[in-house]
Amino acid sequence: VVGTDTSITKYKIVFLGEQSVGKTSLITRFMYGSFDPKNQATIGIDFLSKTIYPDSDGSENSGKVIRLQLWDTAGQERFRSLIPSYIRDSNVAILIYDVTSRSTFDYLDTWYEDIKEQKHDFDAQLESGEFCIVVVGNKFDLADEKQNEDDETSDIKRQVTYEEGERKSKIYGAKIFMETSSKTGYNVNQLFKQIGDILPDFD
Ligand code: GDP
Ligand code: MG
């Protein structure tokens, strides 16, 4: 928690995962409801904020009000040194892989170790809910067999099953596992809604 005023609680969410899994695209989809297929520069050292109302039906005057700070990260050397401090300060770490890239899935173990290193009382924080892990398999659209079965030119295939992702998320003690697509928007709002639901009340 970075601070509370009268009614709004702020939470920091850090996005971790190998280059190109879609961290920046997922943030862009959630923030602006859009997708840019060109390579985007990572937001870098800064964060974006978005207020959500997880209890409400869309009207903004009922239930809890939560401000999410979304911290994008990049694998390039010039940004990498900042990641440990982002992790240390975060309430939620989203570990993202690309469902069409086995190596990005396997590499999550390294990010998980980084988290354990930075969060000194890792087990206690997970237990209390003070810190949460979320696992996301992105680029679901590319693995959607129904959508791709007519497209014989596409040789992009799913390399990680849903069950494998789910199993790994349990090993990590993650509270949420989801497959998403920043391209189509599949499960993106649901993901942040669920995050809003699991965030602890600090009052
Ligand atoms: P980052 O390095 O993790 O921030 O990844 P980016 O958000 O920059 O995305 C890397 C590339 O993958 C870009 O060309 C995106 O357009 C593309 N991309 C990201 N998310 C998706 C997705 O859900 N589906 C598809 N098909 N492409 C995606
Ligand atoms: Mg990026």
Q: 198 C-alpha vs ligand 1 centroid, how far in Å?
A: 26
126 within 8 A of 70, measured Cβ to Cβ: no
ipTM above 0.95, yes or no: yes
Convert the pLDDT of each residue in 17-58 to its tens digit: 999 999 999 999 999 898 887 766 665 556 889 998 877 665
Question: How many angstroms separate the CA atoms of 111 and 156, rounded?
Answer: 25
Q: Looking at the CA of residue 35, tell me the nearest atom of ligand 1.
A: 16
- This prediction's pTM: 0.89
Q: Torsions phi, psi of 7, nearest 5?
A: -135, -15
- To test the pocket of ligand 1, the residue of 182, 188, 191 to mutate (highest count of ligand atoms within 8 Å of its CB) is 182
Q: 16 C-alpha vs ligand 2 centroid, how far in Å?
A: 10
Kind and range of the H or E element at 138? Answer: strand 132-138
